[in-house]
Amino acid sequence: MNDIIDKIKSSGIGKVEENVSLKKYTTYRVGGTARCVVYPKNVTRLVLLIKILKSSNVKFKVLGKGSNLLFSSKDYDGILIKLNEFDNIEFFGNNKIRVGAGFSLIKLSMLAAKKGLTGLEFVSGIPGTVGGAVFMNAGAYKSDMGYVIETVKVLTPDLKVIRLENKEMNFHYRTSFLQKHPDYICLEVVFKLRKGKRESIEEVIAERKARRVISQPLEYPSAGSVFRNPEGEFAGKLIEDLGLKGMVKGGAMISDKHANFIVNYKNAKSEDIKYLIDLCQEKVLEKYNIKLKCEQEFVNWE
């Protein structure tokens, strides 16, 4: 691995960090140590990086803000790729935004509001990147990315850059083409919004923020909602009705404010969180014959 890292450094791909705690890269603030994190400067450097990694058979993963990931406590012996440099943004036409995959969702929603563009209010509380949100088809308040995206620029497995139209992205509830084809990498997105009044848009964002403070355990590290809501049901209510709200395992807890959140309230380990996720799934299946689908991705557990 040292030879590969030296080659990446000498190739001028971008900033390289070695032996860093994954607690820095996930909103759960848990995980082992990552051998190497690379920040490619642009698409050309990203392609070069992937060529190097594939030719050496080194595993890699692209990270956003880590808001839907649960790494194990084991060391990650591959390369993590952060697209922070993919942060270009351009407003064009009357209602469109072209923005890089590494751009902050929360920042994007605020900039759109200032421009009097409505449609992105639902992401104003999601601590992720544009690319991560496209991958997950992030959503809230009865909206999701599929409603506001026009096109997505991606890097294909054979390292070609192409654009996919909205219908090609196959957006459905918390899923997309990218989830089913993880070898594709989101590079850039074009959003198509609607004109609105800045004051009204900012009022909606402020009202929803106030509601989140009351209803969600924002004072602790978490990854947001743990489970997708089953059709016609609310995952949090199912868990709460089973008496699991407030249950503790090590430093992790099923939030006593919202049962569909698991929080790191006291230096939790990844395994503490995973235990509570598994417990909720097991008990809900046993009682209601409903298999809760986890929104989080489990990394480095094999």
Residue 295: active-site member: yes
Structure tokens at 76: 């990650």
> What are the start-end ranges of the H helices in the chain?
2-10, 43-55, 105-114, 130-136, 177-180, 198-215, 235-241, 270-288
Query: Kind and range of the H or E element at 189?
Result: strand 185-192
Residue burial 128-152, b: 16+ Cβ < 10 Å; e: rest: bbbbbbbbbbbbbeeebbbbbbebb
Structure tokens at 266: 């006291």
Catalytic residue among 73, 85, 174, 212: 174
Cα 144 to the center of its chain, rounded Å:
13
Residue written as tokens 């790494």?
71
The answer to whether the beta carbons of residues 196 and 118 sit under 8 Å apart is: yes
CA distances from 148 to 3, 56, 206, 283, 290 (A): 43, 39, 21, 37, 31
The answer to whether the beta carbons of residues 82 and 15 sit under 8 Å apart is: no
CA distances from 218 to 51, 237, 265, 279 (A): 40, 19, 11, 23
Catalytic residue among 72, 109, 225, 270: 225
The answer to whether the beta carbons of residues 30 and 70 sit under 8 Å apart is: yes
Residue 174: active-site member: yes
Structure tokens at 200: 């009204």
Virtual CA dihedral for 29, 124, 210, 277, nearest 10 degrees?
-40
Residues acting as catalytic residues = 174, 225, 295
